[in-house]
Chain A
Amino acid sequence: MSVYQRPVHLFWWLERRAYVLFVLRELSSVFVAWFVVFLLLLVNAISDGAASYQRFLDWSGQWWMVAINVLAMLFVLLHVVTWFGLAPRAMAIKVRGSRVPAKQIVAAHYLAWLVLSAAVAWLVVR
C-alpha cells in the first residue's frame, strides 16, 4: 500500500505561533548559561581586588555589553513566566486532602520570587 508521509520541514517550528514561542523558551537556557559566565567573571573580578573589579565595571558598562544583558534579561523573563506558568501542571499539591488550585501555586511562585529578589537586592546595595 502506498501511503503519503508529510515531510518534516527543517524549520518546523515556524509553522505555528506556539512552536515559535516554544523554541524561544528553550533558547532562554542559552542566556541562563551566559548569566553564569557573567556571574563567574564578576566573582573572579571581585576576588582579584579593587582594580580588577573596576575593570569589570568598565567592561560591563560598554553599550554592547548592556545590549547583550538587556536581551538576556528578556529571555530570562520569558523563562520565569513560562516556568512559573507551567509549574502547577507538573505538580499536584494537596493540602488537607484537596488539590491546591493552579492559580495559588503560580501565585506562591511569584511571591517566593519577589521575596528572594528583594533579599538579594538588599544584600547587594545595602
Chain B
Amino acid sequence: MNRRRSPEPLLWMLFSSGGMVAALMVPILLFLFGIVFPLGLLSTPSHAHLYAVLHNPLTRLVLFGLCALALFHWAHRFRYTLYDGLQLKRYAVPIVVLCYGGAVVGCVIAAGLLLTV
C-alpha cells in the first residue's frame, strides 16, 4: 500500500473542514429558512432583498464553499456509516461512487446555480 497515492488524507481533510463549516453555518440558515420564516415567527424577507444579498459575489462564494464542503462531509461520513453501521464494506466500490460521486455532482449543480444568479 503506497500511502502517497492514498486519497484518504485529502478526503478526511474535506470531511473535517466540511464538518466545521456545517457546524458553524447550517444551524442558523436552517433555523431561519426551514423553521422561523415558514412558521411566521419573523416576517419573511422580501425577494428584492434576498436577491441583492445573493447577487453579491462574496455571498455566492461563501455559499458555494459551504455547499461543496458540506457535501464532502456527508459523503465521507455516510460512506463509513454504510461500511460499519450496516456492515456493507464488501460493496465498497459502489458506495464510494455513490458518496463521493454524489458530492461531485452536487458541487457542479451548486456551481451552476450560484453562477447564474
Contacts and interface: CB of A to CB of B under 8 A. Distances in A.
Q: Are A and B in contact, CB atoms below 8 Å, in the complex?
A: yes
Given A73-B27, A80-B23, A33 B45 contact: no
Contacts of B19: 79, 83
A36 B29 CA distance: 10
Contacts of A49: 47
Contacts of B113: 40, 43-44, 47
Q: Is the interface of A mostly helix, strand, loop or mixed?
A: helix
A80 to B, nearest CB: 5
Interface in B69-117: 70-71, 73-74, 77-78, 80-81, 85-87, 106, 109-110, 113-114, 116-117
B103 to A, nearest CB: 9
B73 A32 contact: yes
Nearest to A60: B38
A29 B110 contact: no
A76 B37 contact: no
Counting contact residues on chain B (CB < 8 A from A), the size range is 35 or more
Nearest to B22: A32
Interface in A26-60: 26-27, 29-30, 32-33, 35-36, 38-40, 42-44, 46-47, 49-50, 53-54, 57, 60
B42 A47 contact: no
A73 B78 contact: no
B35 A47 contact: no
B22 to A, nearest CB: 5
B34 interface: yes
A116 B80 contact: no
Contacts of A47: 51, 54, 113, 116-117
A107 interface: no
A112 B74 contact: no
B106 to A, nearest CB: 6
Interface in A64-118: 65-66, 69-70, 72-73, 76-77, 79-80, 83-84, 90, 109, 112-113, 116-117
13 contacts: A8-B87, A29-B81, A35-B70, A39-B66, A40-B110, A42-B33, A43-B54, A43-B113, A43-B114, A50-B48, A66-B34, A77-B27, A125-B32
Given A47-B117, A79-B26, 5 more contacts: A39-B66, A40-B109, A43-B63, A79-B22, A120-B32
